[in-house]
């Protein structure tokens, strides 16, 4: 006979604990739960909810309100009219919660999120959510093809937040302030800037923090110790801007491999350890490391990562075992080394190269501000197919870039075309959707 279903609270924090900093005001757990309950009362009884809130606190309230109504939140990076219409066709009955969408602007019914952030006169009992309840459906970025949905249960999200708190040494005796430069509707930003404050002693900044000046202002407005949650692309931008930052206890990076040279520069400038998270939309965050300590990763507590002849599998609480696209080398003490992503491997003429490795060579060239190699779909079946490179290098010509690549790259993998552009179509996490890269190639002169 099975026991009663496991229930996890909406937040583990005390009613007066500060979860978010929003518009210059500290938002307590009690105020957050109150806002979520008020919004939940206005939502329909059923159907998925796509969260379009740009404001981080409004996003958190919208997510919690849907959770309280037992409705799953759809978190998508494609918020175009076309993308939302496709979402509506795929998920019948879907509605949107948003904070700045004009009526009729999107092909979905919209419920506006306007939090009051005012604590209730009396604290009500903390709502509990069944651990097995579907909480979110997140979509892959599209950097390797069409976005794919992945469902997360509430129990899985809670367990991962608590594991991250242990992995990063977040102690209730020393609450941290977190500033995230990553959007909340992507898995990385969702985990570390929305979910983490619900289950760990951190306060998450909810106002602007993308451009270097905004990041400096946000960190300055929060008490120490401070943690910056960001990406390699934004670390590069912060260092290039030369803007000093208030003292950090740590910076955390994810979404792309972090170049050790970049990590060393950031640590020297900020006088704080630069930590990396390894994960994927399919499974969320699963391991961490300090980049300068070497190439070994330590899995989060409670996770088991296995490598066998069929590939790599991650097992985690309240989640089905999930296959990873990455190959690993198991070490001791739940540590491992990454051997590479299967989709990262480029095969040509009997030889192999790492796409991420080629991109790192390209980005290290003098005068190259940004760039990426592009692999054609028919590389392995068309005899004369070759790679291309799209580059942002205002003071360099395609011929000069190609000359610099010679001697650094196997001749077989040199790009047949080097296309210079003003900017690459990166999304808010710095990723490059494959369809956007292919469109740039198609539009460029032969």
Would you state the structure tokens that stand for residue 65, as one six-digit string? 């309100």
CA–CA distance, 287 with 196 (Å, rounded to integer): 15
| Global model pTM greater than 0.85 | no
Q: Which domains does the chain have, with CATH numbers?
A: 11-128 (3.40.50.980), 153-342 (3.40.50.12780), 349-443 (3.30.300.30)
pLDDT in single tens digits along all 446 residues of the chain: 466 789 999 999 999 999 999 999 999 999 999 999 999 999 988 889 999 999 999 999 999 999 999 999 999 988 888 889 999 999 999 999 999 887 778 889 899 999 987 878 777 788 999 999 999 999 876 655 567 899 999 999 999 999 999 999 999 999 999 999 999 999 999 999 999 999 999 999 999 999 999 999 999 999 999 999 999 989 999 999 988 899 999 999 998 888 899 999 999 999 999 999 999 888 899 999 999 999 999 999 999 888 877 788 898 888 888 888 788 888 988 899 987 766 677 877 667 788 888 998 999 899 999 999 998 887 766 768 889 999 999 999 999 999 999 989 988 899 999 999 999 998 877 888 888 898 998 888 87
3-state secondary structure the chain: CCCCCCEEECCCCCCCCEEEEECCEEEEHHHHHHHHHHHHCCCCCCCCEEECCCCHHHHHHHHHHHHHCCCCEEECCCCCHHHHHHHHHHCCCCEEEECCCCCCCCCCCEEECCCCCCCCCCCCCCCEEECCCEEEEEECCCCCCCCCEEEEEHHHHHHHHHHHHHHCCCCCCCCEEEEECCCCCCHHHHHHHHHHHHHCCEEEECCCCCCHHHHHHHHHCCCCCEEEEECHHHHHHHHHHCCCCCCCCEEEECCCCCCHHHHHHHHHHHCCCEEEEEEECCCEEEEEEEHHHCCEEEECCCCEEEEECCEEEEECCCCCCEEECEEEEECCCCEEEEEEEHHHEEEECCEEEEHHHHHHHHHCCCCCCEEEEECCCCCCCCCCCCCEEEEECCCCCHHHHHHHHECCECHHHCCCEEEECCCCCCCCCCCCCHHHHHHHHHHCCC
């Amino acid at each position: 006979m099975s026991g009663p279903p496991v229930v996890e609270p909406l937040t583990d924090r005390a009613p007066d604990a500060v979860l978010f900093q929003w518009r210059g005001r500290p938002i307590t757990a009690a105020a957050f739960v109150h806002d979520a309950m008020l919004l939940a009362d206005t939502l329909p009884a059923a159907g998925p909810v796509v969260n379009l809130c740009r404001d981080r606190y409004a996003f958190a309230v919208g997510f919690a309100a849907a959770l309280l109504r037992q409705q799953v939140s759809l978190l998508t990076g494609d918020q175009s009219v076309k993308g939302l219409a496709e979402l509506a066709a795929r998920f019948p009955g879907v509605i949107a919660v948003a904070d700045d969408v004009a009526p009729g602007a999107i092909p979905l019914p919209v419920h506006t999120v306007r939090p009051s952030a005012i604590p209730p006169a009396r604290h009500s009992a903390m709502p509990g959510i069944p651990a097995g309840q579907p909480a979110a459906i997140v979509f892959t970025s599209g950097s390797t093809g069409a976005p794919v949905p992945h469902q997360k249960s509430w129990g899985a999200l809670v367990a991962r937040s608590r594991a991250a708190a242990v992995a990063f040494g977040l102690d209730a005796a020393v609450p941290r302030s977190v500033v995230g430069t990553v959007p909340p509707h992507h898995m990385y930003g969702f985990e570390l800037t929305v979910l983490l404050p619900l289950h760990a002693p951190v306060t998450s900044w909810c106002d602007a923090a993308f451009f270097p000046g905004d990041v400096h202002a946000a960190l300055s407005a929060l008490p120490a110790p401070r943690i910056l949650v960001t990406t390699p692309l934004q670390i590069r931008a912060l260092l290039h801007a030369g803007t000093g930052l208030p003292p950090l206890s740590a910076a955390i990076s994810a979404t792309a491999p972090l170049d050790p040279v970049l990590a060393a520069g950031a640590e020297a400038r900020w006088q704080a350890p630069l930590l990396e998270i390894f994960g994927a939309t399919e499974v969320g965050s699963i391991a961490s490391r300090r980049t300068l300590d070497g190439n070994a990763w330590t899995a989060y507590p409670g996770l088991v990562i296995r490598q066998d002849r069929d590939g790599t599998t991650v097992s985690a609480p309240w989640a089905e075992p999930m296959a990873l696209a990455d190959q690993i080398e198991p070490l001791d003490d739940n540590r491992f080394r990454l051997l590479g992503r299967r989709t990262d491997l480029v095969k040509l003429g009997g030889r192999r190269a790492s796409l991420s490795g080629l991109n790192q060579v390209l980005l290290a060239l003098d005068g190259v501000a940004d760039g990426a190699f592009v692999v054609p779909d028919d590389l392995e079946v068309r005899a004369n197919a070759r790679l291309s490179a799209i580059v942002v290098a205002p003071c360099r010509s395609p011929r000069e870039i190609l000359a610099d690549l010679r001697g650094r790259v196997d001749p077989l993998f040199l790009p047949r075309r080097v296309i210079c552009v003003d900017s690459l179509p990166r999304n808010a996490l710095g990723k490059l959707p494959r369809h956007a890269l292919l469109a740039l190639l198609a539009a460029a002169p032969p």
